[in-house]
Structure 1
């Protein structure tokens, strides 16, 4: 089972070909093919390549499926005995990516 650990939106994410993942909002059109070169680790099932900090020549190919919003988070602040209350809601903007392939040095390790 091949997988890679990528960095996008300030977060690290373990990805596998043929699966979809929700990441921070990317300003790309829907159905657009993108390549992510911020690859920290690549495994093809038997060998593991760890980058310092990135793996040289490693690219993860993905397709933007849709832009969506995460579920609402309620932020409630209250000071007791002061009659001070503040209620706020937040919905994070997300992009759903379908991972197509993982390649190192132009050679595809895994495809969907």
Structure 2
């Protein structure tokens, strides 16, 4: 089984294809593909390969499953005998990702490219229907009726 050690959000994760994990928030919507280029180690096929600090030409392709928040953490500070207390809460923003493939030797992600192409096709068709035909003009907008003055 092939695995990789990646670094993201100041943490290191050991990942394999089809793993689902929660990481620090990264930009993107559900269904978007993302590549992690900071691969620290590769293993599973023969000898493990370690980077110094990164493995050359290695990347990990993943897909964003959802954006969310972690559990609430209560921060409570008290200074004894000073009548001083402070209570705060915090919920960390998290992104759930599914690892699609571990890429070595600078290969491009195959499955991730197919997924984005399949998703973009319906969106492009919808945009083409919504856009007016070339050379045609949009229908003129009707002026909005003004409300009668309430002072009268």
Is structure 2 residue 64 aligned with structure 1 residue 64? yes
Q: Hey, what does 1:43 align to over in structure 2?
A: 43
Distance in 1 (alpha carbons) for counterparts of 2:86 and 2:106: 53
Structure 1 residue aligned with 2:32: 32
Q: Which structure would you say has the larger Rg?
A: 2
Give 1:44 deviation, angstroms. 2.2
- Within 1, Cα distance between the matches of 2:45 and 2:87? 48
> What pairs up with 1:1-112 in 2 under 5 angstroms?
1-106=1-106
Structure 1: 5+ residue stretches without partners: none
Q: What is the deviation of 1:103? A: 1.6
Normalised to the residue count of structure 2, the TM-score between the two structures is 0.68
The structure with more helix, counted as a fraction of residues: 2
**Runs of 4+ with deviation above 4 angstroms:** none
Cα separation, 2, equivalents of 1:86 and 1:45:
53
Could you tell me how far apart the structure 2 residues matched to 1:47 and 1:107 are?
A: 20
1:11-51 deviations in Å (ceiling 9; x for gaps):
11111111101011001121011111110000024320000
SS in 2 for 1:55: coil
Partner SS for 2:17: coil
Distance 1:10 1:35 in 2: 16
- Could you tell me the TM-score, scaled by structure 1's length? 0.91
Secondary structure at 1:91 match in 2: strand
CA distance in 2, matches of 1:41, 1:68: 28
Give CA-to-partner distance per residue, 1:35-72, whole Å, 9 cap, x none: 11110000024320000010000010100000010000
